[in-house]
Amino acid sequence: MSGSRAAIRYAKAVLALAQDQKAADAVNGDMKHIVNAIAKSDELSQMLQSPVVRSSDKKAVLSSVFANANVNTTNLIDTLISNKRLALLNEVASSYINLYDQLRGSQIAKVTTAVALTSELKTKVLAKVKELTGKEAELENIIDETILGGFILRVGDIQYNASIANKLDKLKREFTLN
């Protein structure tokens, strides 16, 4: 838990600095890139968590992977290295994205479907999210064929499950109870 608090503190500091320098959008793009890169690469994730890998090696790898990053992002990485907190990089990046979205009055709506959403359905889902929350949202479509059909919508701490798999599971429970 203390790691999460530290990550939020670093994220708040970077966001404040980036806002002062009118670079919050660029840093947000970098943070999304960092989160995606760490999620896609087990080696990168393990390297960041490893106490065996030297800080200089970690810095060299991160400098090459995120070579086009904003100055504020590279300064954050340097600060995390000097404070021996580089293992928090993914948490800091995620916290920054959340804080940035809150600042913009936006949020991420995750829609899990069995097949990719069409542009017409995306528009309808975004309209429904705005109706429910009163805020604009970015839509992230996650494809999971195990839900068979329908969708699962997650916005913040709200979840609406309208999947076929969920409905079948409810029917199964009803039949087993009787």
Query: Are 24 and 101 contacting, i.e. CB atoms less than 8 angstroms apart?
Result: no
Nearest to 103 by CA among 5, 37, 14, 4: 14
Shared domain for 126 and 113, answered yes or no, is yes
For the chain, the domain total comes to 2
pLDDT at 137: 83
pLDDT at 177: 75
Q: Which of the listed residues 68, 86, 102 is the one where a domain comes to its end? A: 102
Please give the single-letter amino acid code of residue 78.
D
pLDDT at 92: 94
Phi, psi for 106 (deg, rounded to 5): -115, 170
* CA atoms of 74 and 34, how far apart (whole Å): 11
What are the tens digits of pLDDT across the range 44-78? 999 999 989 999 999 999 999 988 999 999 999 99
pLDDT band at residue 40 using 50, 70 and 90 as cut-offs: very high
Look up residue 50 and give its two tokens: 């490893």
Could you list the residue range(s) of the whole structural domain that residue 70 is in? 2-102
Shared domain for 96 and 117, answered yes or no, is no
Shared domain for 161 and 131, answered yes or no, is yes
What are the tens digits of pLDDT across the range 132-172? 788 878 888 888 888 888 888 888 778 888 888 888 888 88
pLDDT at 167: 84
pLDDT at 178: 63
Q: Rounded to two decimals, what is the model's pTM?
A: 0.68
Shared domain for 90 and 112, answered yes or no, is no
What are the tens digits of pLDDT across the range 95-125? 998 899 888 877 788 888 888 888 898 888 8
DSSP of the chain, one letter per residue? -HHHHHHHHHHHHHHHHHHHTT-HHHHHHHHHHHHHHHHH-HHHHHHHH-SSS-HHHHHHHHHHHTTT--HHHHHHHHHHHHTT-GGGHHHHHHHHHHHHHHHHTEEEEEEEESSPPPHHHHHHHHHHHHHHHSSEEEEEEEE-GGG-SEEEEEETTEEEEEEHHHHHHHHHHHHHH-
